[in-house]
Amino acid sequence: MNKTLAFRVFMVLVTTGLLISCNNSRDYKDSSRATGWKMNAREGGFKYNPKAKEQETGPGLIFIEGGTFTMGKVQDDPMHDWNNTPTQQHVQSFYMDETEVTNLMYLEYLDWLKSVFPPSQENYRQIYQGALPDTLVWRNRLGYNEVMTNNYLRHPAYANYPVVGVSWIQAVEFSNWRTDRVNELILEEEGYTARGARYDVEPGETFSTQTYLNAPTQTYGGKDSITRGGRTSERITDRSEDSTNLYVQRKDGLLLPSYRLPTEAEWEYAALGLVGLRNYNVYRGRKKYPWDGQYTRSNKRRSRGDQLANFKQGDGDYGGIAGWSDDGADITAEVKSYEANDFGLYDMAGNVAEWVADVYRPIVDDEFNDFNYYRGNVYTKNAITEDGKVKLVTADSIVYDTLSNGRIVARNLPGEILQVPVGEEETYQRTNFSKSDNRDFRDGDKRSSRRYQSFADEYNTDDANEERMYNSPKSKIFTDSTGQMEIQYDQSNRRTTLIDNEVRVYKGGSWRDRDYWLDPAQRRYFPQDMATDYIGFRCAMSRVGSKSKKGKRPRN
């Protein structure tokens, strides 16, 4: 082979290699990997946002990288509750509030409700009243606590203290409100809605994230303009050049997922803060507190002897001896008064216990699922009208629920999409779920695989509640139009438990609890429509996309 021929062969090989390399390295940013068609073209084609790389962190949140941990591994069990069997679980990455929701944050929510749904109007009076925390939780028949009853929620001295007196239901409603307000501001800052539109609303014209995504023309009650200072402007701003992209869609990656209560698995995983440790025994569940070590006092040189959380240290001892042994609080403490755990979360032990999303059961059913464990799924869908449009809640169609304690709360608000249970058209021949309400799945009801026994057959009664393993007393309460309550107490002597589908898990110790409850694995339950002076909450948000904020792992 002469030099000329060898050079030609070499050039062919080089050219072929370059072509292969180019084909392998093509990024398809501007064209479809499926069809080759150009995307985001002015003349048409699929619209896609290539700039949406990673989910933004919402206000108040901290990123929690997911992983595997041993859930339910308690170090001490003097109560002999038998409600914690260690199970290995995996939790996806998510976000969680840096601190508990404070009085100031909740007052902002109340102020918004009061301005948009004035309690002076009969149609909306129960919306505001149903959101108010129960300040009477501070009262004690043999204690003088009126100063907290009158001041704790509203006095500025307690502004950055965790809100209490809030039921699980109220915490969920606050989370929903927070979702809408955050996304509403994002749209305004990005120019998709008129500046100040969020302030100029009336009942039925409020912004709902789900309404905007599913029926954007019905956002703000379908009114497309506002008048402020004598000037009229469009509520929904046209930012596109060809007038075909007026609204943000889920595919644009701009709006955040919902704020919500964390699941029990998420809360326990975040409280443990395993990210800062590289100890196999800790990974296997031998970590007692959110901080490292087996004691509640600091062993660091600059803070040696200081308490690491706000809890009850003994009978009649809520803060220690004043001056040198004091933990800085007798009731709750201001948020961030103690060091954060390795995730950067404050007060994951002590101060206030916290609501989580799960319905309580004595066991965690890891035989069925060990990934993002959660008990409490109730699947719903958007209600659709006869003409195929989503059905919105109006001022005349608000549904109010009377809770077991007599309080009346709004189930939905004007401007939201009405939700209905999923039916057979969604569940037919599915293997992953078969009904809308899955709160009691596999725990003793008729359709579970672990049927406890049929109380109805044994006692020959038609009471459907008797057929369940968890058949707590079912008292009934009615409230007429004048506010008078009629109570019918459950007189049955065949009830076997206080557990039902309306009791929720709460986690973490509080200012009223001994250090035994500071262990993140400890779990207790409380009715979802009742409140106390030692249970608060914080919000979480799911993460979409990559597991880690660092991005993809480098290839070898």
Greater confidence (497 vs 60) lies with: 60
Measured CA distances, 234 to 196, 226, 254 (Å): 11, 6, 21
Output the six-digit token pair for 132: 């108010």
- For the segment 488-506, what is each residue's pLDDT rounded down to a tens digit? 888 888 777 888 899 999 9
Its sign, for the CA torsion 244, 247, 252, 254, is positive
Contact 259, 58 (CB under 8 A): yes
Q: What is the pLDDT of residue 12?
A: 54
Distance CA 134, CA 170 (A): 11
Name the nearest CA neighbour of 467 among 503, 439, 440, 435.
440
- For the segment 445-454, what is each residue's pLDDT rounded down to a tens digit? 555 544 444 4
Task: Kindly list the domain boundaries of the chain, sorted by start residue.
Answer: 61-375+502-542, 445-455+467-500
Output the six-digit token pair for 286: 């031998």
Output the six-digit token pair for 84: 């914690």
Q: What is the pLDDT of residue 471?
A: 77
Least confident segment among 110-119, 321-330, 341-350, 362-371: 321-330
Average pLDDT over residues 166-179: 97
Distance CA 260, CA 58 (A): 12
Q: What is the pLDDT of residue 270?
A: 96
Name the nearest CA neighbour of 415 among 396, 385, 393.
393
Tokens 């660092």 sit at which residue? 550
Q: What is the pLDDT of residue 449?
A: 43
Q: What is the pLDDT of residue 450?
A: 45
Grade residue 540 by pLDDT with cuts at 50, 70 and 90: very high
Is the pLDDT score of 26 beyond 80?
no
Q: What is the pLDDT of residue 164?
A: 98
Tokens 């790389």 sit at which residue? 53
- Four-way CATH pick for 61-375+502-542: 3.40.50.720, 3.90.1580.10, 3.40.50.1820, 3.90.420.10: 3.90.1580.10
Grade residue 17 by pLDDT with cuts at 50, 70 and 90: low
pTM beyond cutoff 0.85: yes
Grade residue 41 by pLDDT with cuts at 50, 70 and 90: confident
Q: What is the pLDDT of residue 228?
A: 59
Mean pLDDT, rounded, of the chain: 83
Helix ranges, 287-409 (H):
none
Average pLDDT over residues 202-214: 87
Distance CA 424, CA 422 (A): 7
20 phi and psi angles, rounded to 5 deg: -60, -40
Long-range Cβ contacts of 546-550 (<8 Å, 24+ apart): 546/54, 546/93, 547/65, 547/66, 547/92, 547/93, 548/65, 548/93, 549/54, 549/63, 549/65
Name the nearest CA neighbour of 298 among 290, 307, 289.
307
- For the segment 320-338, what is each residue's pLDDT rounded down to a tens digit? 777 766 778 899 999 999 9
Average pLDDT over residues 381-399: 89
Map residue 324 onto helix, strand or coil. Answer: coil
Average pLDDT over residues 377-396: 91
What is the percentage of the chain residues whose pLDDT exceeds 70? 81
Is the pLDDT score of 100 beyond 90?
yes
Distance CA 479, CA 19 (A): 77
Is the pLDDT score of 531 beyond 70?
yes
Average pLDDT over residues 29-37: 80
Map residue 438 onto helix, strand or coil. Answer: coil
